[in-house]
Amino acid sequence: MIYSVDVTVTAPVEPTEVSDRVARAVEALFPNADVEVRDDEVVASTHDLEAFREKLFEQRILDTARGAFLDGRTDDGFAFDVKKQAAFQGVVNFAVGNPSELGDLHVEVTVREPSVDEFVAYLAPETEDGRPVEDLDE
């Protein structure tokens, strides 16, 4: 699928953390992102979510991801949070409820093409028995 998105990832760097480790957590989920380390936060931007999409498929969490994306849906995109500690291990773990002590990675996705709903369906398609519905038709 051809898509056009702008993705911004922000993560706080707490006084007890090493900023390079927070940057590596971001890079583990978004390896093509341009990462900038600041005093008290890490900010990254990318236009490529293929590696993140692959992790969703590998971890078999498409329904969870789809729910998180739709919960954070706006007119021009969606936002969600993932646990920083899990991200450092290269694992997607959506943050729900209270933020963790160290803070979470906050991801904002602005979708230019296709529509927001079509992009969410691409990133995390609907499933049946854990398999994408589109695969069941083949």
Reported as a single tens digit per residue, the pLDDT across 25-80 is: 999 999 999 999 988 999 999 999 999 999 999 999 999 999 999 999 999 999 99
Residue 110, domain CATH: 3.30.1440.10
Q: Confirm whether 119 is domain-assigned.
A: yes
Q: Confirm whether 77 is domain-assigned.
A: yes
Q: Confirm whether 86 is domain-assigned.
A: yes
Least confident of 1-5, 6-10, 44-48, 87-91: 1-5
What tokens appear for 2 in the block? 């051809």
Q: Confirm whether 22 is domain-assigned.
A: yes
99 prior amide bond cis, ω within 30: no
> Residue 40's domain spans which residues?
4-125
Number of domains in the chain: 1
What tokens appear for 47 in the block? 């236009």
Q: Confirm whether 137 is domain-assigned.
A: no
Percentage of the residues of the chain whose pLDDT score is greater than 70: 93
Report the predicted TM-score, pTM, of the whole model to 2 decimal places: 0.91
Q: Confirm whether 47 is domain-assigned.
A: yes
Q: Confirm whether 134 is domain-assigned.
A: no
Is the separation of the CB atoms in 100 and 11 below 8 Å? no
Distance in angstroms (rounded) separating the CA atoms of residues 122 and 76: 16
